[in-house]
Structure 1
Amino acid sequence: MTPATLRERLIVGLDVPTLKDAETVVRDLEGVVTFYKIGYQLAFAGGLDFARELASGGARVFLDMKLLDIDNTVAKGVENVARMGVSMLTLHAYPKAMRSAVEAARGSELCLLGVTVLTSMDEQDLIDAGYQYDPRSLVLRRAEQARQAGMGGIVCSAEEASAVRTVVGPDLAVVTPGIRLAGGESGDQKRVTTPAQAIRNGSSHLVVSRPIVASVDRRAAAQAILADMEQA
């Protein structure tokens, strides 16, 4: 992979409390990172307008909203997101929601991603939530449903990326959070993988937040992630 290709596959999560913090992170990573994730924390602090600003400035934006609602509500939300210029949007991988979203996004360049099982959840968490599947089985079931619905990709742990890739084929995006360099702190993630192993497992994009955003030298941290990816 060329350096340019690597940068396109690294998504930095702007998991910070304020727009000022987000702007600082983007400024610190200028020239190294071109793809950013905006989730709930920043979205509710003006992050949606910031997403439009980043997209209009040439950056790629992954809007991590994990939508789930009745079909019409999901569809109307996706229609508006498609007009924002962002590149990716997540929704929970429930079949009806995915089918509604795919139809709403038709004709746009928005890549819809189905969230399978959160990387903060393990088997006991799923049991507590009432699921009868272990994480791997549920991930693969939802990956197949996402493929059938016509989604653009899947969000899953890099531990499951190889198995997911066999289900969804070579063309769909497989986006993996829970990425840590060897020896790094796992934080609230329970299923983590190194950047190089994630790429070997079939991940198309890696989402990295805390190891870069919380670093005293963000550029060096991002470059270390990219260097590890290159080993794959």
Structure 2
Amino acid sequence: MKAKDKLIVALDFDTREKAVDAIQRLEADVEIFKVGLELYLASRGKIVEYLQEKGKKVFLDLKFMDIPNTVAGAAREAAKMGVFMFNVHVPGGKQMMASAREAVEQVAAGGLQKPLLIGVTVLTSLDQNDLLQLGITQDVKELVIARARLAKEAGLDGVVASPKEAAEIKSACGDEFVSVCPGVRPTWSAAGDQKRIMTPKDAINQGASYLVVGRPITGAENPAEAAKLVLEEMEEGFEC
């Protein structure tokens, strides 16, 4: 895979118009875009169709978490949309994840392309102190790996995790198990509200399957140039 196949740009906007402007600036350099809760709701879901009409892949980042039957229904609808990837929260439990997997398989059996189904382990905005406030005393890395193993047991294709855990996830779950890594910050950008971060070069070195980068690209004066710089840093990781 080339760097372009591993970069996911997060479209964290509050209007469809802002997102469309960013997509048009980036479409020559970016193949995969992440649509989260804010933009999905602001665009009434229409931004997904717009991206697909452009021939782009969509990571639908809605982080489903509910009782198994409800999540299965949501997963079924996400799969029917033809997205490239979507996610659920691992803390929703093994049965919830397995139900989502079964729903995706049912849609794929009908002839539609099967999306990657991944699980959110621990949000990259949380560190050890945040977990302690939630009553979780387990080391953050140990918790991520344990949740990654649970996701694999439930039949998921991979997980969302900090790049700091990518190498250990590969070791615990195998090379084919996907690691989608937010919390990626180029050497020239600010950390923002992310706490467990890593540069694109180092994240690739650690075995991350996909890197999610948002504000360092979309908030740049020249988003296309920023995307090219991120891709260059990723290429350096391939060479190491």
> Which TM class, normalised by the smaller chain length?
over 0.9
1:20 to 17, 20, 24: 17
Pairwise CA RMSD of aligned residues? 1.1
Aligned to 2:97: 98
Alignment of 1:114-129 (within 5 A): 114-129=119-134
Question: Partner of 1:65: helix, strand, or coil?
Answer: strand
Matched, 1:59 2:64: no
Q: State the AA in 1 paired with 2:61.
A: D
Supply the distance in 1 between the matched residues of 2:39 and 2:94 (Cα, whole angstroms).
Answer: 28
TM-score normalised according to structure 1 size: 0.96
Aligned to 1:212: 217
By how many angstroms is 1:184 displaced?
Answer: 2.1
Q: State the AA in 2 paired with 1:96.
A: Q
Matched, 1:191 2:196: yes
Aligned to 1:50: 47
Q: Show CA shifts across 1:116-143 (max 9, x none).
A: 0000000111111122312101100000
Aligned to 2:158: 153
Q: State the AA in 2 paired with 1:133.
A: Q
By how many angstroms is 1:183 displaced?
Answer: 4.3
Supply the distance in 2 between the matched residues of 1:131 and 1:174 (Cα, whole angstroms).
Answer: 23
Q: State the AA in 2 paired with 1:105.
A: V
By how many angstroms is 1:199 displaced?
Answer: 0.5
Q: State the AA in 2 paired with 1:55.
A: Q
Aligned to 1:132: 137
